[in-house]
């Protein structure tokens, strides 16, 4: 028996076992199974109805939840968006919060005057711009995250600021007086800061890492405590007298940074003690690559600065893995 005949016999033998399901729909109306956006991600639009403001703010958030801005906001009051609750996520939706009146102090803020009344706040995805007299986007609530925010031309305070245990990441500050600040144990990472008239990034015992800071008129990074400054690139921060990195605290760690175009590459202040400076690459901008205020070249009393290898020959043969390189 050939193969075709065998196949026909097999199908005939099993044909009685192949039973299709019913083709008639069930009785009654067919209910929808789709989910709305509100079902998937419940959010509240900022509006006069949902988040009514008051004499000092356009919108005030007073309940935990997820909120979003539905359009550009021109701030003619003291505050644009005022967060007065914990566990809040605010999505700026790619829109711009801009200063439109001399009385405007903050674009977006969560502020409790240091009392830590609120916590766990997230602000993301938008721009704050203009001559705010306080800051662009600021929260002193512990465990705040500010991400994907651009602060442009903020003329007082900081473009972006967080309090203790806060995080600023994937954000930009340009043309501000001071760019970004972080409170105790804060983390500032993957940010771009440029053209600040004073300081690019300020930390105490927090961390700033893997960021680009350029063309700031006083310091690129100012670390006044036992913070960590790790793997940043600093360029052209006041070639006529400023410093790429200025440390003036106790126990700071400055490691793996690339600094160029500043009068001082890395400046250690007279109050600095027990600070560690290792594995940095500094291109001289006309002044001192790595030095301590008030001390002779190469003298760093009460601090720990690895060997500074000046103008290394090619091929590079230094075997000290912790050396700082001046070129």
End-to-end, the C-alpha distance of the chain in Å comes to: 88
Total Cβ atoms within 10 A of residue 41: 10
CB 181 within 8 A of CB 161: yes
Convert the pLDDT of each residue in 59-112 to its tens digit. 999 999 999 999 999 999 999 999 999 999 999 999 999 999 998 999 999 998
Collect all residues with Cβ–Cβ distance below 8 Å to 117 and sequence separation of at least 6. 141
Average pLDDT, the chain: 89
> Residues for the chain: how many in total?
327
Beta bridge partners of 254: 229, 277
CB 227 within 8 A of CB 249: yes
Token pair recorded at residue 290: 């790595």
Beta bridge partners of 140: none
Convert the pLDDT of each residue in 142-160 to its tens digit. 999 999 999 999 999 999 9
* Region 195-211 average pLDDT: 97
CB 158 within 8 A of CB 138: yes
């Amino acid at each position: 028996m050939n193969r075709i005949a065998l196949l026909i016999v097999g199908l005939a033998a099993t044909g009685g076992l192949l039973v299709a399901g019913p083709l008639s729909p069930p009785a009654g109306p067919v209910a929808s199974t789709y989910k709305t956006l509100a079902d998937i991600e419940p959010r509240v639009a900022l509006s006069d109805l949902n988040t009514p403001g008051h004499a000092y703010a356009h919108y005030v958030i007073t309940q935990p939840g997820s909120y979003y801005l539905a359009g550009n906001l021109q701030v003619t009051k003291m505050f644009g968006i005022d967060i007065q609750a914990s566990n809040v996520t605010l999505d700026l939706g790619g829109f711009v919060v801009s200063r439109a009146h001399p009385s405007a102090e903050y674009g977006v803020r969560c502020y409790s005057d240091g009392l830590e009344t609120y916590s766990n706040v997230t602000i993301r995805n938008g721009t704050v711009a203009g001559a705010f007299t306080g800051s662009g986007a600021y929260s002193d609530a512990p465990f705040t995250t500010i991400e994907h925010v651009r602060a442009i031309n903020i003329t007082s305070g900081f473009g972006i600021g967080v309090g203790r245990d806060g995080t600023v990441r994937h954000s930009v500050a340009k043309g501000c007086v001071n760019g970004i600040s972080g409170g105790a144990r804060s983390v500032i990472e993957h940010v771009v800061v440029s053209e600040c008239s004073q300081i690019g990034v300020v930390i105490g015992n927090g961390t700033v890492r893997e960021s680009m800071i350029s063309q700031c008129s006083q310091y690129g990074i100012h670390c006044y405590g036992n913070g960590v400054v790790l793997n940043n690139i600093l360029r052209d921060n006041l070639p006529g007298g400023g410093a790429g990195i200025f440390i003036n605290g106790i126990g700071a760690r400055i490691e793996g940074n690339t600094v160029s175009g500043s009068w001082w590459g890395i400046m250690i202040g007279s109050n600095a003690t027990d600070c560690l400076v290792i594995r940095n690459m500094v291109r001289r901008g006309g002044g001192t690559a790595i030095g301590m205020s008030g001390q002779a070249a190469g003298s760093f009393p009460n601090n720990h600065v690895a060997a500074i290898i000046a103008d290394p020959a090619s091929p590079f043969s230094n075997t000290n893995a912790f050396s700082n390189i001046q070129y």
